[in-house]
Chains A and B, each alone.
Chain A
Amino acid sequence: MTRTGIVAWNTFREAVRDRVLYNLVFFALLMMATAVLVGQISIGIDSIVIVSLGLSAVSVIGLLMAVFIGVGLVYKEMDKRTLYALLAKPIRRWEFLLGKFAGLLLTLTVNTAAMAVGLFLTLFYVNRALHSADLVVLTAVYFILLKLAIIVALALLFSCFTTPFLSICFTAGIYVTGLFVKDIRSFSDITGNPALDRVAVWFSYLLPNFQNFDVMGAAAHGRAIPGAIVAQNTLYAAVYCAIVLAAAAVIFSRRNLK
């Protein structure tokens, strides 16, 4: 295993031992309750309700995990000084950072995949069958995962130079503005001042565009998502993460541990 892989695996192990995956119980209960409820009402929108609610839950649970675990990934190791002995091994700081990122991403992937399975089971239970149109739900889940990767990268970046509390604020702030990036870019009049508006639009390109990742509507109604969009979003997330992680590595590599 590479050094990054060793760190990633340990990060995953930590999440599992800290019972992070227990959130799945909550998700399962939510899906069961929805299925029972929808079964009783049954007015032909069962799938829409289940998919919308399920994807929202996948997204929210993932976001909470990404932000709250993400800001502690490196900070906790610095704070508790578990990093001291580790950095005395033949490992570079950026390798450690990347391993932490990969480890949480692995945790999120496992968690999200399990929730996706739960979502499909619920769909199957309610509809007594799965349709090819349901496949778009998989794409939606994949996009959520891409979004989470960006969030983790940002949380990691902030935690390299500030406290967990501020990191949470910054990451959450960027997430929320990232949901309105398109609006910022298309509004000609944001602040009323043309020069400031231009700065705002320019600035919006630094923010992650999360609107492109939101395909909940399409997924709920079973509309297919073109492969080009999938490719574009994948590339976008990969490049965005790479840039943010590179910045984090630069900062972290120069940092004096306390």
Chain B
Amino acid sequence: MPALAIETLGLTKDFPVGFWLAKKRRALEGLSVQVEAGEIFGLLGPNGAGKSTAIKLLMGLIFPTAGTARILGRPISDVRMHGDIGFLPEQPYFYDYLTAAELLDYFARFHDLTSADRRERIANMLKKVGLDGAGKIQLRKYSKGMLQRVGLAQAILHDPQVVILDEPMSGLDPIGRREVRDIILDLRRGGRTILFSTHILSDAEMLCDRVGVLVGGKLRGVGSPDQLVGMKVSGMEVLFELAADPPAAASLLLAKAIRTGDRYRLEVPVAELYKTLDALRAEGAQILSVTQIKGTLEDYFLDLVGADRAQPAAVEVSSR
């Protein structure tokens, strides 16, 4: 297996827009990324960043205006390598006249699996994605989250080397998100390569070995989540309790704190942390926790976009 599972070179996509389709909108501009075999790579970006466009290009659903890409060393126009790829589309929708088991069986047939093998895999897979017992229900009766689970099941049923997931956690409840995260980590443990897109920073942070940040169709940075977001700790959060109710004329510090029940929460700049802690101790406070406040995804993106406007070159973050 080549060291690079996925490699794109200057991948660019213009969509015709307007009534006469004469105008062009650039959805993706010169995307060049390399996903190494065995890693979890996240495409992180706000809505409309071009994540789905990039993924659809990789899957051959749309064709690039410019640039090329290879998966497992083969050009993306070669559908034979699809035998080694699993794909979950964004907001998946499937034949609603089929049951989940029938759909999985239909798709599995394209992978030349014997009927006994298919049956066994499907039973296991339905269990794995939490659709145990729902396999015989027609998909028209499925909820969005259930469809998402079926979508994940069909993507990994044939045990592919490379798994490409477009917003795999969307539409899922917290338990579902957790299960999907576990499945993704499980895949990596099995030596698979996973590329997934998300607009949720915490998902990327929890799962990814490396993240590519896409804003406005351009790749703004590639690196591990810590490198990307850790760069920007915007402050410290101190959680504390007071032994007694604060005096009527509370100190300036206490006045700034936000009270919920018995607890107080205080945000301070990093530089003032120790000074604040000393002051709180003087007030007789019991410190419960001190945590970094990292920029939210929104702050982070606004920052990136702002920096980009001031200086056209892409933000370079060291890669592995």
A contacts, CB < 8 Å to B: 1, 3, 6, 10, 13-14, 17-18, 80-82, 84-92, 254, 256-257
Give the segment of B39-47, B102-110, B123-131, B190-198 that binds chain A: B102-110
Given contacts A3-B110, A6-B106, A80-B93, contact A85 B154 (CB under 8 A): yes
The docked-state distance in angstroms from the alpha carbon of A91 to that of B87 is 14
Write the nearest CB–CB distance from A64 to chain B, whole angstroms.
21
Write the nearest CB–CB distance from B245 to chain A, whole angstroms.
59
Write the nearest CB–CB distance from A103 to chain B, whole angstroms.
12
Pairwise interchain contact B151-A254, C-beta atoms closer than 8 A:
no
Give B60-90 interface residues, CB cut-off 8 Å to A. 60-63, 79-83, 85-89
For B85, the chain A residues whose CB sits under 8 A away are 88
Residue of B nearest to A87 (CB): B61
The 24 listed contacts between A and B (C-beta, < 8 Å) are A10-B95, A10-B106, A13-B97, A18-B97, A80-B93, A81-B91, A82-B93, A82-B94, A84-B61, A84-B89, A84-B92, A85-B94, A85-B155, A86-B107, A87-B59, A87-B60, A88-B85, A88-B86, A88-B155, A89-B107, A89-B110, A91-B79, A256-B61, A256-B63
B contacts, CB < 8 Å to A: 56, 59-63, 79-83, 85-89, 91-95, 97-98, 106-107, 109-111, 151, 154-155
The docked-state distance in angstroms from the alpha carbon of A14 to that of B60 is 26
The docked-state distance in angstroms from the alpha carbon of A13 to that of B107 is 14
Pairwise interchain contact B110-A254, C-beta atoms closer than 8 A:
no
The docked-state distance in angstroms from the alpha carbon of A99 to that of B211 is 40
Closest 9 CB pairs of A and B: A88-B87, A89-B110, A84-B89, A256-B62, A17-B97, A90-B82, A90-B83, A257-B61, A6-B109
Write the nearest CB–CB distance from A206 to chain B, whole angstroms.
27
The docked-state distance in angstroms from the alpha carbon of A84 to that of B110 is 14
The docked-state distance in angstroms from the alpha carbon of A18 to that of B81 is 34
For B95, the chain A residues whose CB sits under 8 A away are 10, 14, 82
Pairwise interchain contact A14-B111, C-beta atoms closer than 8 A:
no
The docked-state distance in angstroms from the alpha carbon of A200 to that of B94 is 45
The docked-state distance in angstroms from the alpha carbon of A84 to that of B80 is 16
The docked-state distance in angstroms from the alpha carbon of A167 to that of B165 is 34
Given contacts A85-B154, A257-B62, contact A90 B111 (CB under 8 A): yes
For B155, the chain A residues whose CB sits under 8 A away are 85, 88
Pairwise interchain contact B79-A92, C-beta atoms closer than 8 A:
yes
The docked-state distance in angstroms from the alpha carbon of A1 to that of B105 is 13
Pairwise interchain contact B97-A91, C-beta atoms closer than 8 A:
no
Residue of A nearest to B63 (CB): A256
Q: Assuming A87-B60, A88-B89, what are 17 further A-B pairs, CB within 8 angstroms?
A: A14-B95, A14-B97, A80-B93, A81-B92, A84-B61, A84-B89, A85-B92, A85-B94, A85-B154, A88-B86, A89-B82, A90-B82, A90-B110, A91-B79, A92-B79, A254-B63, A257-B62
For B97, the chain A residues whose CB sits under 8 A away are 13-14, 17-18
Write the nearest CB–CB distance from B105 to chain A, whole angstroms.
10
Pairwise interchain contact B59-A81, C-beta atoms closer than 8 A:
no
